[in-house]
Structure 1
Amino acid sequence: MTKLEPSGPLALAGIRVLEVGTGSALAYAGKLFADFGAEVIKVEDGAGDALRHLPPLLAAAGQAPQSALNAWLSTNKRSVTLRGQSIEELAWLSRLAMSCDVVLDARALRQGVEILAHPVCRRSADIQSAKAPIEVYLTWFGESGPYSQFTGSDAVCRALAGAVHGSGAVAGPPHLPHDMQTGIVAGLGAFSSAVAALLGASDGSRRYVLSIHEAAFTVVEMEAGMVQDGRHPQARLGVNRFCTTHPGGIYPTKEGWIGLFAHTLPQWSALCVAIGRPELAHDARFVSGPTRITYADEIDAFLQPALLTRTAGEWFELLGSSKFPAVLVPTMDELLAQKVHRERAAFVPVASGATRFEGVGVPFPLGDAGPLRGGVAAHKGAHDNAYRTEEALAGAAGRTRAAEGLPPLRKLRVIDLTMGWAGPLAARTLADFGAEVIKVEGTQYPDWWRGTHFTEEFYQQRLYEKNSNFALMNRNKLGVTLDLAHPEGREAFLALVKTADMVIENYSTEVLPKLGLDYASLCQVNERLVMVSMPAFGIGNEWSRVRAYGGTLEQASGLPHHTGFAHNPPSLTSYAYGDPIGGWNAGAAALLALLVQARTGKGRHVNLSQVECMLPLAAPFLIEQSLCGKTSPRQGNAHPVFAPHNIYPCAGEDAWMVVSVADDAQWDALLDVLQAPELRLDPALSVVAGRRAQREKIDAVIAAWTRQRPADDAMHLLQRAGVGAGVVKPIGSVLEDPHLRSRGFFQKVQREHLGEYLATTPWFRESQQPLEISRVAPTLGEHSREVFSRVIGLTQEQVNALEKSGITGTMAARKRA
């Protein structure tokens, strides 16, 4: 089989990728490549990928049961089998790797980080060490630091990253989401790293190492900023209680569930009017979100009965008409029937043998560049013979290594029209890979993460420069200000766009068209421009104008029906989940669109839906609904395969630990630590099916042991024995985490007005050292003069005129009445 050459417009046609190792992060990264036309070769050992055992299972005559979830992850890939560990077999695998453009390697998740010293593409002595494909390695905790030798799992990483402790009932235990959700995030990271390296391929190949632990932290990065600003309660507030506002949860209605998020006073006022209680709109106790959370029980006492008077659909229409952030919270069958997703091809056909079902489409709509709408999952070893020929192994990538510290996107310019978390995170991804990102704000309308309470203090004390969340999300960017509603402001903006490779924006869908700055207008001045837009439900459909926050996106995805315990209502996580997921996806989509631009010279508008970005996290449940016609009840903190797998109480107040036993060897090691003869003497517990059947008995024994010990001590005892275990860390303690501090993941930096704070560093590394932060987040308009002069050639006199007329500036200005 010869290496594929571009035979069509798919974004990654002609790219050959090797996928070696195990885990959902690796599988999802490979899926993204395959569904955009790359030749992805998935290598499994004789036992097969552990993902093949994830329910729901497909039964086929004469074949071992196959996981439907794994089939969805494997669409459009080639499947080959590694026949043992002989020298000859490893030499074949090395030659196969050297024929590839990209190697995605997750062997460290099972074999430990020591395997990184033995790259799969360096096995043959006749291969020059200076030549190699792009390599992206997935690890649990990175190559260095106290946890680097830990036995990991998605749940352990998530717990140690602070992405578990805040969710759930006040008394606990906290909520653990399905493992797939952490895997999707890390998979997006691996894919983004590889695509960035492809964009910089003229420099040579690159090697990136990712920590799933650090990737998991990004979903709660906002919380780290709130801790530093003293705004975080650092405690669980309860099921469907969101620390910055109320109501911000999920409520039953006459029929169905409605998701609400009231942040601003106008939104709260609109809700009060809608439920027939307008007198509460300006009650002093309820005027801001942080004060309303104090009175959450009192608010729910009058809100819940009112919501039972109409159906969820009726509330959605009524509240939507007043621009209130409200959405339907669909079950999986309701979600699969939603017209807006059907029109956008969010659900795609998957074939595995004779079985057909629906899975989730890749949420990057690049038009003729992809993605493929569904596909076939090959049976294990289907392509073994095809990749054992000299022809298939010929044509090594042969790239020399790029110099370390040479950012792959350094020749690209991005105009950043984003606010909040999701959009700035996407643009920050491009900046971290070296793009020149120019963030455009208005002095009257700065990024709302600078602050939304426009008091006298806000302006006089420059509170808009003192928000740590803004500082975390906007590192490595230049900052300018322009009034885009003013003709001269638009003219200067268009001049910037003319020089740019990309514009990324997350405004409400009606804003840019009103300003005459939609894609149709921008591509008139720059026909090769790529633009990424990322509203809640995408542009051009009946729900395009729905207002949404990160929690709204989570509600609309249906995930809350599968989070937490069955005795609670559908349950949100404690953070704005949709924001970081939207940011990760938009960043990956932007990188891929830039690669298509580089290959074709053509621009395009990427019409992203942030709700669709959440749907891969719901894939296990959507697939189960499609295949079985129903979904299983919520399982709390149980795992679909691992046993035991739960959160256990430890000594001390609100102290918890995850224990995640992935195989029988870990079970034996756990028994050695617990010294529990009643478990060892039961032969039924020697296999996972028996342990799952007696989950409550096992959990009681483990909990009795953990209650006697501080969480950190218990974790280290189990980890030394090789058992997957991790402290369920509150977000405040994550900032002091010895592993992250040892790795330099947090760095103390100084910023004008804000002073010293802990900044995060990128989640990918070229070596064991963190990537440097080239610049802290810009103060308002900090780089306007420099950018306007260097990029669009304005004189100092012209910039002075813009400042005098209020079109640009370095201080926030009061909004016009």
Structure 2
Amino acid sequence: MGVLSHLRVIEVGSSAATSYCARLFADFGANVQKVEPPTGDPLRHSRPLTPGGHSVWFAFLNFNKSSLIIDATDPDATTRLAALIEDCDILVDGRDVDPADCPPIDIATIRSQRPGLIYLEASWFGHQGLYAGLAATDSTVRALAGLIKLTGPVEGPPLHAPDFQTGILAGLWGFIATASSELSRAQGGTGRSWSLSIFEATLSLTEYLIFEAFECGDVMRRIGVNRFWPSFPTGIYETKKGWIGVTTVTPAQWRAFCDMLSLPELRDDPALVLNEDRLQQMEQIEQQFIPRLKARTAQEWFVEGLKRKIPIVPVPEISDLLQDAEKKRRGAIVPVLIGEEKGLTAGSMQRLTLTPPREGGRVPALGDQQDLVSSRRHLSGVASVSSGRVNSDQLPLQGIRVVDFSMGWAGPLCTRTLADLGADVIKIEAIQYPDWWRGLNRPAGYIADRMYEKAVRFCAMNRNKRGITLDLKQRRGIALAKRLLAGADIVVDNYSVDVLPKLGLGYDVLRRLNPRLVMMSMSAFGTDSLHRDCRAYGSTLEQGSGLPTVIGKAGDPPGMSHIAFGDAVGGLNGCAAVLVALNHARHTGKGQFIDLSQIECMMPFAAPWITAHSVSGMPPVRYGNRHPQFVPHGCFRCAGDDGWIMIGVTDENMWQRLAVLIDRPDWATDPSLNSVEARRSVEDQIETAVASWTLARDADQAMSDLQAARVAAGVARRPIDLLNDRHLRSRTFLQDVERALIGLHPQPSMPIREGTGPYTIRAPAPTLGQHNVEILSGLLGLSVAEIVQLERDGIIGTVILCERELEKK
């Protein structure tokens, strides 16, 4: 029995996002029933395939579910489906992406009769806005979201992975919406109805770059494979054996990297101290250190980098992941049965230690539950669903308290999402060591001008929270933290694994203080990993995930997709994990420890290659900008300066419309080109014709013409373009927020909505120590005199200590 075994989930329609959302429920024991047409979910036929003809993408998205066939042509199809839905707790609906021959459903009527039902519907762009109803694929959405144009060689084309990304990101958001609703319902509330925009969910990866563009202006360009603004080096390099991922962000890391490679002239050059300076001299710097890296193996450099506290990691091949005993022990790689074929795939990354997820499972055969009667009386331990109603203004997580020890992006995104959903999040910093996203380097005037209050990226990740300062290196600071934790539901940290335990705030201490507390550590590799001490950024997580080795064409070096891919992914997985654990705590009164490995959270993006290789034993296919299933598919140059458009043809009818549009009606009427295999044989010729057509048009005109013909296409946008994106503006996705010392600045909404508009941002990010008095007095009952003394002693404060003051301590 899993922690969510009391839930019954029905999944209709076909989309990767809703399939992944439902699979996350199945991971923790929910009874997930997938409704399919007689021909099966279209994703059953998506490539790549196993030798037995099974889709590895479908397998990853659907193991541990059951399958029910409902034929829309049957007279009682709608009645049967309505009965199923009326008997479930959660309905996950992907029909807007692909209806998959699903019978019609009157959701409004069902919800009026079953107010406890939780409903999630997913669409590519939402039902309102400029892009609503556009034809789309994973890659065209990523192009519009600013995730393609900055990647790849300077001259182009931009480089991207096949379509295995937006479904995971959006699926996590869908799970967050529905799992938070279950918590609310369990407290006597009604069910909630959510809409999920896959496009907006994908912007979770772009947020950081959007707000850097807002703050710094038009500074981002494509600067080469494995090169990304604003840090250098942040890439993948060849060694004597294997590839190594390197990230240097701070001056100390740069100096340590140079020392490791015996390059004192680079280390001591004052013109190379800062990232922005090194970016100007990338070629010259790489010419010096690349030959040095080839002198030793990736594993040897990894060991050396650990000693020097450099964020550095070997870049594994897919075969390396499959042989990694630690990944299997931790459940990151799990067995999966696909028909008669045995394989391995990416497991659940929400590693709850008391109520762990299932470790692997079976992919349902089409209609494998057809002979079972759909009735709740056949399910043991099913909780009754409340039909009570709550105030419509009450947020799902209202009444939940979170203590937030996290910094940067991943942890703060997790806790920001909890705060957006109504939790009271108390962010703890120290005047000695504030959140490093307030400013990494401290130039002249940094403290005097309060520049640490002016970082838009910090404000974007910490809205809706309350902030206090506590020096956790002082006894009274620890004592106050413990008092806060005694009344909390959740505590989150993304420090190195030993930081809180050494301060006396490890889970072994806190569970005695508060048995119902859910504590999550968000480290790079996991608290029990052999590599637990490895320093990491979001780039390190992508480098170590296996994904870069399948990006690009055969013979290309492993390719990164993002400056910090792993950060947002870790944050969303962390949020999903604490919601599951909190669900258990609310039912049982028992908290638990969550050992989240952020590098493992990246592995689902490589899952199709992991599974395919595990079954066939053949090396993973690298598709470049082509696609295992769609022809043509790629990023094509348009008129103007660095204009590009992403095009993906998903079926025979779309191919025929494209052929007519590009003035090749002979292709449209040639039946021999209707199949993907036939078009694959002349793919070069097709791509040449498409490229000739796009080159004569600017990117926006090309997209307009293609979408008018119902061909999936999306302009390759830059992050700065999204600040004024007409679709996002029409949906109020970017909300303007006023904050002290910054003024009016944009904030992203969540991609999940309960109505036509987003949740309103209730409060800007706190200034340093803004809520010291409010929390210490209001929550902990300290007197004014006690608070004044804490400030005198440097335990709390509202101004960062300068480096000279730190040295005195």
Bigger mean CA offset, 17-26 vs 338-347:
338-347
What secondary structure sits across from 1:268 in the alignment?
helix
Deviation at 1:755, TM superposition (A): 1.4
Query: Is 1:233 matched with 2:225?
Result: no
- Output the CA distance in 2 between the equivalents of 1:395 and 1:430: 25
Q: Deviations over 1:407-450 (max 9, x none)?
A: 11001000011000001001111111110001100011110000
What secondary structure sits across from 1:349 in the alignment?
strand
Residues 232 and 243 of structure 1 are in contact (CA less than 8 Å); yes or no, is this contact kept in structure 2?
A: no
The residue number in structure 2 matching 1:149 is 133
Q: Deviations over 1:229-276 (max 9, x none)?
A: 116622111111121221111111110001100111111111111111
Query: Is 1:40 matched with 2:32?
Result: yes
The residue number in structure 1 matching 2:397 is 409
The residue number in structure 2 matching 1:319 is 305
Q: 1:89 aligns with which of 57, 69, 77?
A: 77
- Output the CA distance in 2 between the equivalents of 1:698 and 1:481: 61
Deviation at 1:696, TM superposition (A): 1.4
Q: 1:794 aligns with which of 782, 792, 799?
A: 782
Residues 130 and 730 of structure 2 are in contact (CA less than 8 Å); yes or no, is this contact kept in structure 1?
A: yes
Deviation at 1:132, TM superposition (A): 5.0
Residues 564 and 636 of structure 1 are in contact (CA less than 8 Å); yes or no, is this contact kept in structure 2?
A: yes
What secondary structure sits across from 2:234 in the alignment?
coil
What secondary structure sits across from 1:180 in the alignment?
coil
Residues 226 and 232 of structure 1 are in contact (CA less than 8 Å); yes or no, is this contact kept in structure 2?
A: no
Q: 1:72 aligns with which of 38, 52, 60?
A: 60
Bigger mean CA offset, 389-398 vs 645-654:
389-398
The residue number in structure 2 matching 1:768 is 756
Corresponding letter in the other structure for 2:365: H
What secondary structure sits across from 2:142 in the alignment?
helix
Change in CA separation of 1:437 and 1:85 when aligned onto 2, cut-off 3 Å: farther
Q: Deviations over 1:124-144 (max 9, x none)?
A: 7xx844635100111100121
The within-5 A match list for 1:436-451 is 436-451=424-439
The within-5 A match list for 1:706-785 is 706-785=694-773
Change in CA separation of 1:493 and 1:110 when aligned onto 2, cut-off 3 Å: same
Please give the TM-score of this superposition, normalised by the length of structure 2: 0.96
What secondary structure sits across from 1:638 in the alignment?
coil
The residue number in structure 1 matching 2:590 is 602
The residue number in structure 2 matching 1:20 is 12
Q: Deviations over 1:344-402 (max 9, x none)?
A: 13211111222111111101111342211111112101111214579669999573565
- Output the CA distance in 2 between the equivalents of 1:709 and 1:400: 56
Deviation at 1:502, TM superposition (A): 0.6
Superposed CA RMSD: 2.0
Deviation at 1:683, TM superposition (A): 2.6
Corresponding letter in the other structure for 1:320: L
Bigger mean CA offset, 547-556 vs 374-383:
374-383
Q: 1:493 aligns with which of 451, 457, 481?
A: 481
Change in CA separation of 1:405 and 1:704 when aligned onto 2, cut-off 3 Å: farther
What secondary structure sits across from 1:238 in the alignment?
coil
Query: Is 1:280 matched with 2:266?
Result: yes
The residue number in structure 2 matching 1:4 is none
- Output the CA distance in 2 between the equivalents of 1:556 and 1:624: 19
Bigger mean CA offset, 564-573 vs 414-423:
564-573
Change in CA separation of 1:658 and 1:481 when aligned onto 2, cut-off 3 Å: same
Change in CA separation of 1:337 and 1:58 when aligned onto 2, cut-off 3 Å: closer
Deviation at 1:782, TM superposition (A): 0.8
Bigger mean CA offset, 712-721 vs 540-549:
712-721
- Output the CA distance in 1 between the equivalents of 2:65 and 2:13: 15
Please give the TM-score of this superposition, normalised by the length of structure 1: 0.95
Q: 1:249 aligns with which of 189, 214, 235?
A: 235
- Output the CA distance in 2 between the equivalents of 1:391 and 1:687: 47
Listed as ranges, the gaps of 5+ residues in structure 1 are 1-7
Change in CA separation of 1:718 and 1:397 when aligned onto 2, cut-off 3 Å: farther
The residue number in structure 1 matching 2:143 is 159
- Output the CA distance in 1 between the equivalents of 2:419 and 2:594: 19
Listed as ranges, the gaps of 5+ residues in structure 2 are none
Q: 1:549 aligns with which of 531, 534, 537?
A: 537
The residue number in structure 2 matching 1:30 is 22
The residue number in structure 2 matching 1:385 is 371
What secondary structure sits across from 1:619 in the alignment?
helix
Deviation at 1:280, TM superposition (A): 2.1
Q: Deviations over 1:573-609 (max 9, x none)?
A: 2320010111111111111111111111101010110
Q: 1:193 aligns with which of 177, 185, 192?
A: 177
The within-5 A match list for 1:323-722 is 323-387=309-373, 397=385, 399=387, 402-566=390-554, 568-722=556-710
Deviation at 1:279, TM superposition (A): 3.2
Deviation at 1:504, TM superposition (A): 0.4
What secondary structure sits across from 1:748 in the alignment?
strand
Change in CA separation of 1:409 and 1:717 when aligned onto 2, cut-off 3 Å: same
Q: 2:201 aligns with which of 197, 215, 237?
A: 215
Residues 656 and 667 of structure 2 are in contact (CA less than 8 Å); yes or no, is this contact kept in structure 1?
A: no
Identical-pair percentage? 40
- Output the CA distance in 1 between the equivalents of 2:781 and 2:61: 49
Corresponding letter in the other structure for 2:638: C
- Output the CA distance in 2 between the equivalents of 1:25 and 1:74: 11
The residue number in structure 2 matching 1:5 is none
Change in CA separation of 1:633 and 1:104 when aligned onto 2, cut-off 3 Å: same
The residue number in structure 2 matching 1:260 is 246
Corresponding letter in the other structure for 1:235: R
